[in-house]
Amino acid sequence: MSFFKRIGFTLVEFLVVIAIIGILIALLLPAVQAAREAARRSQCSNNLKQLGLALHNYHDSFQAFPAVGYGRGWAGDDTAGSARDLAEGPSVLNHNSWVSLAPFYEQGTLYDRYNFSVAACSYVRNSDRPVAGDAAVNAPVTTQCPAVFQCPSDGWSTKVKVSSWYTLGSSSERACRSNYDFSAYRTVSYFDWWPRLTDRRYKYMFSTNSSSTIADITDGTSNTVAVNETVKNVIDGECPSWSIRGWVMTGVDISYGINGWDWPVLGSWYTGDRTARRGQLFSWGLAGSLHPGGANSCMADGSVRFLSETTEARANGAMPAVGTVGPVLHAISTIGNNEPVAVP
């Protein structure tokens, strides 16, 4: 008869406990991950609500929504000195109207530090217009990354690519990317002609150098997209920036669908890796997110809706017939005649 009391676990008991813990972790981990993503998606929605509120406060102050930007260094494939080039103004500014909106989303300090008479970005193409000053003057603002423009689900780099298309004058710093931008037609050659467009398929809520008003949105503010979500990882071109309008930074176009990871917009000139990857868009100005199943969009009434990646849109980028739109409208049905808002 033994008088020794056993202390501790046997090896078998220990392994059983480890196995039980492993099973519990396997069961709970998806729920924890889902809860974290739900929190990130909620924060993303709150960001868009703040931007939507800023748009309406701006409209209340100036009786119009802002343009996507103004004074772009490229007005399409027209030659220097063309009517379209001259329509951009006497000098290149590459200003982004999110900076103009800064006081309305609690970034008044950045607005006060920004010099609107100096270019935001020094990119120029097919134009003889001079760049207004040294864009490095505005680098202390344009390089900042306000949290309201960052979706917490997207962990890609916040800085734009190193390229002459996005340079900040003599500064070696880089502007900050944004997960959100105005709803606009992504083909850059249409961007400065919003007031002149007669085809509603190209007439989105925003455009360069031209502004819309609430009265222009006859399809209903709750059905018209104002701000779209996108991802920072883009192969061709670049994702939006909140502070500059370089090269193809022309807004986000929802009409090509949402989360089109497997749709290579790239032309035959691209010889790199075409492997589809979730979270990586092949080209600029497309809607998407790292949220499973869709992306957030801010509507013209300021509400935010999570749009499924199965939301009806143009098939493979083909234009729909005039008047035919999906359940969420990207176009404005009336033809306005608004001039650019002069207020920065």
pLDDT band with cut points at 50, 70 and 90 for residue 81? low
Query: What mean pLDDT is predicted for residues 233-242?
Result: 90
Q: Is residue 226 within 8 Å of residue 330, measured between CB atoms?
A: no
- CA dist 198 and 107 (Å) reads 37
Please state, rounded to an integer, the average pLDDT across all residues of the chain.
Answer: 80
pLDDT at 192 over 70: no
pLDDT at 343 over 50: no
**pLDDT for res 333:** 35
Query: Residue by residue, what is the 3-state secondary structure of the chain?
Result: CCCCCCCCCCHHHHHHHHHHHHHHHHHHHHHHHHHHHHHHHHHHHHHHHHHHHHHHHHHHHHCCCCCCEECCCCCCCCCCCCHHHHHCCCCECCEEHHHHCHHHHCCHHHHHHCCCCCCCCCCCCCCCCCECCCHHHHHHHHCCCCHHHCCCCCCCCCECCCCHHHCECCECCCCEECCEEEECCCCHHHCCCHHHCCCHHHCECCECCECCCHHHCCCCCCCEEEEEECCCCEEECCCCECCECCCCCCCEEEEEEECCCCCCCCCCCCCCCCCCCCCCEEECCEECCCCCCEEEEEECCCCEEEEECCCCCCHHHCCCCCCCCCCCECECCCCCCCCCCCCC
**pLDDT for res 195:** 59
Burial 58-81 (b: 16+ CB within 10 A, else e): bbeeeebbbbbbbbbbbbbebeee
**pLDDT for res 196:** 60
User: What dihedral angle (degrees, nearest 10) is formed by the CA atoms of 184, 265, 271, 292?
Assistant: 90
pLDDT at 122 over 70: yes
**pLDDT for res 7:** 64
* Tens-digit pLDDT profile for residues 28-67: 777 767 778 889 999 999 999 999 999 999 999 999 999 8
- CA dist 273 and 87 (Å) reads 39
**pLDDT for res 208:** 77
pLDDT band with cut points at 50, 70 and 90 for residue 188? low
Q: Is residue 124 within 8 Å of residue 178, measured between CB atoms?
A: no
Q: Percent of the chain, pLDDT > 70?
A: 76
Other Cβ atoms within 10 Å of 257 Cβ, number: 21
Global pTM? 0.82
In DSSP terms, which residues pair with 305 in a beta bridge? 297
pLDDT band with cut points at 50, 70 and 90 for residue 211? confident
**pLDDT for res 288:** 93
- CA dist 240 and 181 (Å) reads 7
pLDDT band with cut points at 50, 70 and 90 for residue 13? confident
* Tens-digit pLDDT profile for residues 126-166: 777 889 999 999 999 999 999 999 999 999 999 998 888 89
Token code pair at residue 182: 């105005």
pLDDT at 25 over 90: no
Q: Which residues, 6 or more positions from 260, have their beta carbon under 8 angstroms from its beta carbon?
A: 281, 282, 286, 288
* Angle made by CA atoms 344, 243, 68, in degrees to the nearest 5: 55
Query: What mean pLDDT is predicted for residues 23-27?
Result: 80
pLDDT band with cut points at 50, 70 and 90 for residue 172? very high
153, 188, 334 from 199: Cα distances, Å: 36, 16, 9
Nearest to 338 by CA among 197, 190, 223: 197
Higher pLDDT, 96 or 279: 96
Higher pLDDT, 76 or 212: 212
Among 22-26, 98-102, 189-193, 312-316, the range of highest mean pLDDT:
98-102
**pLDDT for res 328:** 39
Q: Is residue 201 within 8 Å of residue 325, measured between CB atoms?
A: no
Higher pLDDT, 267 or 189: 267
Query: What mean pLDDT is predicted for residues 261-285?
Result: 74
**pLDDT for res 332:** 39
Higher pLDDT, 323 or 193: 193
Burial of 13 (0-12, 13-18, 19+ CB in 10 A): exposed
